[in-house]
Amino acid sequence: MPTTRPTGPVPPAEPPLSGAPLLSVEELHLSIAGRDRAGAERTVHALDGVSLRLAPGEALGLVGESGSGKTMTALSVLGLLPPGARVTSGRVLLEGTDLAAASDQVLRRIRGEAVGVVFQDPLSSLNPTMTIGAQVAEPLLLHRDVSRAEARERAVETLRLVGLGQPGERMKNYPHQLSGGMRQRVAIAMALVCEPKLLIADEPTTALDVTTQHQILELIGELRERLGMALILVSHDLGVIARRVDRVAVMYAGKVAEQAPVARLFTSPRHRYTQALFDALPERAAGTGRPLATIPGLPPSLTRRPAGCRFAPRCAHATDVCRTEEPAPRPADDAGLHTYACFHPADPAARAAAAGAAGVVRPAEDAAACPGADADVLLGLDGVRKEYALHSGPFTRRRDRRRVSAVAGVSLTVRRGETFGIVGESGCGKSTLGRLAVGMEKPTGGSVRFEGDDLATLDRAGLRAHRRRVQLMFQDSYAAMDPRMRVGAILREPLVVQGVGDRSAQEERVRELLDEVGLERGAVHRYPHEFSGGQRQRLGLARALALAPSLVVADEPVSALDVSVQAQILNLMRDLQREKGLSYLFISHDLAVVRYLADRVGVMYLGSLVETGPAAEVFARPLHPYTRGLLETADSAVVGGAPEAEPAKGAGPLAGETPSAADPPSGCRFRTRCPLATDLCATTPPEPTAPAGEGHLVSCHFPLLPVAGRAG
Amino acid sequence: MTAEAATPTTPQPAAGEPADDDGPDATPGLARRTLAVFARNRLALLGAGLLAALLAFCFLGPLVHPTDQVHTDLDQASLAPGEAGHPLGTTDLGYDMLGRLMHGGQTSLEVGLAAGLLATLFGTVYGAVAGYFGGWADAVLMRVTDAALAIPALFLLVVVAAMVTPSKPVLILVIASVAWLSPARLIRGEALTLRSRDYVHAMRLMGGGGGRAVFRHIVPNAVGTMIVNATFQIADAILYVAYLSFLGLSIPPPAADWGSMLSSGITYTQVGYWWLIFPPGLAIVLVVAAFNFIGDGLRDAFDVRLQKN
Amino acid sequence: MTRFLLKRTGQALVVLFLVSLIVFVLLHQLPGGPARAILGPKATPEAIAHFNHLQGYDRSLPVQYGMYLKRLVTGDLGESYKLNQPVLALLTERLPKTLLLTGLSVVLAALLAIPLGVLQAVRRGRLSDYVLTGAAFVAYATPVFFLGLVLILGFAQQWPLFPAEAPQAESVGGVLAEPAGLVLPVVTMALGIIAMFSRYMRSSVLDNLGEDYVRTARSKGQSQVRVMARHVLRNALIPLAGLLGLYLPTLFSGTLVVESMFNYPGMGLLFWNAAQSNDFPVLLGVTLVVGVATVLGSLLTDIAYAVLDPRIRSVS
């Protein structure tokens, strides 16, 4: 085996696979022994014949929905499997050594030395009671013959390499003293300190905000080139994978469905699952007015080995052969770089034509969907503020009575029948805004009006009656349902509370609701824990609709769901809106989702609404530097969007981190991260203006107008 | 359908489980599932079996093996096991040891059960009030329990017991008066978390009031914690009865309990009357262990039943 | 950290105040009132009235409580009418010996319970785990005095290895000079603590083994032993400090029983003897001191907890 390490920059994408691979996974089968809730033993066949190859210095993306086996595949390389998991057959060859059969001692020598790993949640994967310096230096002390001082020095260097400011001082910090992004940098430093040949990153940015996510992914890409190491990037997010890897393997139900160079996969996917997955992405349908293509049903349970193609039960193109015979991987091109396991592959030519045609549908449908500006105002927020005391208690000293300004003077209106989307990163106050809108919390300033009534002036009975008009759809429907109640009782509770109808009328209404959200009527006899995530969101929606409200506030309703299920829920929300003339206040961190569903959007940053306007306008011609930065930062998996050209200079992705809401910057809150900020921004908070025309408001002293308009 | 919903305003405290609703594809009710999980725990089953056996021994045993536990019989004093029809021998006052074990067990179990349940009940109400109302009420109520907990229970019990003449009801009250503290703390924490659960918020957003929150959501969800805690409280109360007896504060003879039997046996360790020591001692160990096994099994059962698949 | 300390100390002061209030209330619940308790059952009504006037017991309750607090602050805990000594003097002689017994037991218990708990966690679900779990339950269910009795029967009578009576020396040094006499009391005390701590340690280690940071540590190439020693153990031990604080009252209750069993001249024995002879000034004095010791002890363990856990240490 040649063990020389590549030193220079990696050759461009798609290195030939003819040379000796660094890593080769061959027919890997893995099962997890466990028990089901009834206590019966069961075995989950998590991986069923996975084969992958990785050349030195190459970057491979592993994509798939939850339970597809992508993480298991990655972790099996180092034998870091959860309890009960066992490789039943197959090999994992790292430079010729079979790691699947290797002793713990051999694995220990490789872990942290030849292969480094970065895990998903940077807080829980760092030891809370150990300084980050000690944690970063640890692999060196284990694998290299170095003194403590040398290890320390090397750790400082590595922390500097991953872009942690003042690494010398930071060494003494504990993980909880760092922000999420900094923690993930530390985790990367830990994985890289021994300069491994392979870095495995398991959903490294899923727990992070959009802008931080971008910074971390850029960092990983940069370091890979600098150190010449290979990369396995595991993600559920096609957008994350798109620009960062050379090749992609799409996994489904414990098997590799399709493998291809990234550009090829994004332009001409062959496996019907890959194709369906792309079609379910909200960015594909955004602004078209068309419903999202969905994948019906759920991935199969892997307790039994299904016969035939695993995707067949959900596939629109499945035939008898799909249900009985298992498709073998077949090459899509001569070079053998693109393989797929499908009997009835998609035709790339037909697909391109369809994609072209889709764009044309847009204008007519869009106009019909978007209610006119004169539609009556349902919800009106006027200068709404919400502050929380940071520390409270009878003995709190005066100077400690600092307050967190969660929402700082937000004004917006939601009209009847429209969807108003609120986008922003975590901690921007969007969830608080949602709770204020439904009246779950009282504002500390400003007013919330519903159909003209100021909520603050409503008496008990008035407020109780008001509850019928606005309902909240929770992010985690499971937490929002009493685990001890059956679904029948849960769905009937709003009717019982409001005294709507008698018992049989209520039961009839529950059946209606279940029909509307596409669940079986038998669901009334079950408990919430028996449903999947998507089904629970359906239940959550059904309960929110029980009282026939005119406005539903939906707080991140699809953020916990897989792409294919997310599409089902988004379509359902959209269909029900058309049927019932509902309004939504839709809160999400996901730009693509908001873009797909919302008629108008508001962008929030650190408690203030920096920009509002029609969705198409705001996304196409953002006026606020933050909106612009957010849009450019987001990794989207649009058609052909693989290795796209980087955006023009001057308007790069957002740098830095959001300041604390307990101590927001003076003047414009975004100024500390704004490339255009001047002294004016530090002294005067900007008022909303409409420099680009009616209906598109921006709170910025220097809005991003087309070049000529800037001076005026 | 579920019975309780017909009368939504009438709370049904402990009967939190919706009545089983045997629709064609209904999943079994939670109570049944809890039992199923419990039944798979071997230690818990052992505990339940032990407890059943001990209860039968103490309360049904005298029917099979009737003895006089009121009048002393010094002619028959301190007989070794097996002598003159006394399978476990006799005490220094001539009581049949086996019969006395049954007799004493009744006191230990009755006082333990009653004190444990009373303590749980009072502690639950106290803790629920503190946790649900929060703020100042909570701060005051909790400092009081902190202070009472700071004085070791046994010291407090001895002082109190020294002031009064022990009888069954007095013992029950005295033990409950120190034992309510830990359930109070526990339930307070539970109430604090439960009231901020999303499903309570959701119900509030439908226009529901505090009563519904407490009786339809908070109490039924805290029932598991209460039941588990009650079993541990009973175990502790039985130990307290024994400790008080050992410290010389028991119900005066001819009444007996396992603790007082054991402490009067201590006098005879030098002369080797082992049958005066081991039977009551082991009985205490067995019954307390049984309750702890049951409590442990119940805790697991209540935890597991709501887990997602 | 400063905020935490201030807050915690403030709480402790409030609790101390309430402890004194509870003891004061108990004092007034005594049969015949404090006068009868102090002057003895044979006192005449005149003597009682005189005493009550002298002590201010005929004043209003708040005033009395103020006086009581004032006496406490000056160290006046009353006088034992059985031993004819000030309660404070009795306590200053006895308390150190009780603390010695408790300290030795806790140290012995920790030394055994920590490795046992780790062993159980590592061998979870195997025979050794079941056996140790069962043993811990049984040890927990065993009344301390029954355990002490069994130990005396076994190791003082059947095999006379250790004396059944504890050292009777006046000073702590004197007690330590007879280590053989300490063996049985300390072991009796320690067994219950071992049961408690090892159960706790087992679940604490299991919780930590399931944490992501353990997987990270393994991903660096550390051996299981090293992961346990460097990462898990520390995190699992920190909460044990907090547990010790909560467990203090139970510990003191234990000393009451153990000291009276082995005739160990500590505070527990003093208390027990006082209970036998209705020596209420001693009973209440000891109760107060034990309460104060518990409050201060749990304050100390909380501070230790905060010092050990960087997450608490660095918060404001």
What are the boundaries of each domain within chain C? 2-73, 97-278
Structural domain boundaries, residue A161: 55-83+101-245
pLDDT surpasses 60 at B18 = no
Higher pLDDT: A351 or B272? It is B272
A245, A261, A284 — which closes off a domain? Answer: A245
Cα angle C282, C288, C289 (rounded to 5 degrees) comes to 90
Residue A136 included in any domain: yes
When divided into structural domains, chain A yields a total of 4
Which chain C residues are Cβ-neighbours of B237 within 8 angstroms? none
Chain C contact present for B153, CB below 8 A:
yes
SS3 category, A46: strand
Predicted pLDDT of residue C34: 65
Which chain B residues are Cβ-neighbours of A541 within 8 angstroms? none
**Spatial distance between the Cα atoms of C275 and C269, rounded to a whole number of angstroms:** 10
Same domain? A385 vs A489: no
Phi, psi of A622 (to 5 degrees): -65, 140
Share of chain B above pLDDT 70, in %: 89
Closest partner residue to C219 among A111, A130, A395, by Cβ? A111
Closest CA to A664 of A405, A369, A417: A405
| For C315, nearest residue in chain A (alpha carbons) | A177
Same domain? A298 vs A344: yes
Give the end-to-end CA distance of chain C in Å, rounded to a whole number: 6
> Per the CB < 8 Å rule, is A176 touching C223?
no
> Per the CB < 8 Å rule, is C271 touching B158?
yes
**Spatial distance between the Cα atoms of B171 and A156, rounded to a whole number of angstroms:** 66
Confidence label for C42 from pLDDT (cuts 50, 70 and 90)? confident
Q: Which other chains touch chain C, taking contact as 3+ CB pairs less than 8 Å apart? A: A, B
| pLDDT tens digit sequence for C127-146 | 888 889 888 888 888 988 88
pLDDT surpasses 80 at B84 = no
Confidence label for B9 from pLDDT (cuts 50, 70 and 90)? very low
Residue B230 CB contacts under 8 Å (≥ 6 apart), including other chains:
B116, B117, B120, B183
Closest partner residue to C215 among A104, A119, A395, by Cβ? A119
**Spatial distance between the Cα atoms of C296 and A177, rounded to a whole number of angstroms:** 30
SS3 category, C133: helix
> Per the CB < 8 Å rule, is C15 touching B153?
no
Chain A contact present for C309, CB below 8 A:
yes
CA distance C25 to chain B (A): 11
What chain B holds in terms of domains, given with CATH numbers, is: 49-62+88-307 (1.10.3720.10)
> Per the CB < 8 Å rule, is A108 touching C211?
no
Which of C146, C191, C248, C269 has the most B C-beta neighbours within 10 Å, making it the best mutation to test the interface with B? C146
CA distance C283 to chain B (A): 7
Closest CA to C171 of C105, C95, C106, C103: C95
| For A529, nearest residue in chain B (alpha carbons) | B308
Predicted pLDDT of residue A358: 43
Which chain C residues are Cβ-neighbours of B270 within 8 angstroms? 157
Which chain A residues are Cβ-neighbours of C308 within 8 angstroms? 129
Which chain C residues are Cβ-neighbours of B285 within 8 angstroms? 138, 141-143, 146
Higher pLDDT: C111 or B193? It is C111
| pLDDT tens digit sequence for A36-73 | 655 567 888 889 889 999 999 999 999 988 888 899 99
Closest partner residue to C15 among B43, B150, B274, by Cβ? B150
| pLDDT tens digit sequence for C148-158 | 888 988 888 88
> Per the CB < 8 Å rule, is B156 touching C276?
no
Same domain? A148 vs A70: yes
Predicted pLDDT of residue A296: 84
pLDDT surpasses 50 at B12 = no
> Per the CB < 8 Å rule, is B202 touching A485?
no
**Spatial distance between the Cα atoms of C280 and C81, rounded to a whole number of angstroms:** 9
Identify residue A108 by its one-letter amino acid code.
R
Cα pseudo-dihedral A121, A126, A132, A137, rounded to 10: -110
Closest partner residue to A128 among C3, C219, C235, by Cβ? C235
CA distance B95 to chain A (A): 50
Which chain A residues are Cβ-neighbours of B5 within 8 angstroms? 489, 492, 496, 503
CA A128 to chain centre: 26
Same domain? A605 vs A658: yes
pLDDT beneath 50, residues of chain A: 1-17, 356-371, 394-396, 639-650, 708-712
Same domain? A560 vs A500: no
Same domain? A345 vs A400: no
Predicted pLDDT of residue B304: 60
Which chain A residues are Cβ-neighbours of B224 within 8 angstroms? none
Q: What's the CATH code of the domain at A409?
A: 3.40.50.300
> Per the CB < 8 Å rule, is B281 touching C150?
yes
Q: Report the DSSP beta bridge partners of residue A34.
A: A42
Chain B contact present for A482, CB below 8 A:
yes
Number of neighbours of residue C171 by Cβ within 10 angstroms: 11
Cα angle A202, A208, A212 (rounded to 5 degrees) comes to 110
Query: ipTM score of the complex?
Result: 0.83
Predicted pLDDT of residue A22: 92
Q: Which residues of A659-685 are buried (b: 16+ CB within 10 A; e: fewer)?
A: eebeebbebbbbbbbbeebeeebeeeb
Q: Which other chains touch chain B, taking contact as 3+ CB pairs less than 8 Å apart? A: A, C
> Per the CB < 8 Å rule, is B242 touching C143?
yes
Closest partner residue to B155 among C143, C271, C298, by Cβ? C271
Same domain? A206 vs A110: yes
> Per the CB < 8 Å rule, is C149 touching B262?
yes
**Spatial distance between the Cα atoms of C86 and C99, rounded to a whole number of angstroms:** 20
CATH tag, C97-278: 1.10.3720.10
DSSP code of residue A313: G
Which chain B residues are Cβ-neighbours of A522 within 8 angstroms? 23-25
**Spatial distance between the Cα atoms of A119 and A200, rounded to a whole number of angstroms:** 8
Same domain? A652 vs A574: yes
Which residues 262-281 of chain C have a CB within 8 Å of chain A?
none
> Per the CB < 8 Å rule, is A482 touching B212?
no
A360, A382, A417 — which closes off a domain? Answer: A360
**Spatial distance between the Cα atoms of C194 and C198, rounded to a whole number of angstroms:** 6
Residue A260 included in any domain: no
Predicted pLDDT of residue A623: 92
Predicted pLDDT of residue A375: 63
CA A105 to chain centre: 37
Question: Among all chains, which residue has been given the structure tokens 């940098």?
Answer: A185
Instruction: State the count of interchain CB pairs (< 8 A) between A and B.
Output: 108
Chain A contact present for C10, CB below 8 A:
yes
| pLDDT tens digit sequence for C246-276 | 888 889 889 999 998 898 999 999 998 888 8
Predicted pLDDT of residue A200: 94
A547, A574, A604 — which closes off a domain? Answer: A547
**Spatial distance between the Cα atoms of B14 and B29, rounded to a whole number of angstroms:** 15
- Helices (H) then strands (E): counts for chain B: 13, 0
> Per the CB < 8 Å rule, is C134 touching B43?
yes
Chain A contact present for B166, CB below 8 A:
no
Which residues 246-285 of chain B have a CB within 8 Å of chain C?
246-249, 259, 262-263, 266, 269-270, 274, 277, 281, 284-285
> Per the CB < 8 Å rule, is A111 touching C220?
yes
Closest partner residue to B152 among C146, C249, C283, by Cβ? C249
User: What is the maximum span of chain A, computed from C-alpha positions, in angstroms?
Assistant: 80
Chain A contact present for C14, CB below 8 A:
no
CA distance A440 to chain B (A): 7
Closest partner residue to B26 among A438, A471, A525, by Cβ? A525
B27, B78, B162, C40, C84 from B104: Cα distances, Å:
45, 18, 22, 34, 39
E strands within C31-99?
A: 79-80, 85-86
CA distance C257 to chain A (A): 39
Closest partner residue to C10 among A108, A176, A395, by Cβ? A395
Which residues 17-56 of chain B have a CB within 8 Å of chain C?
43
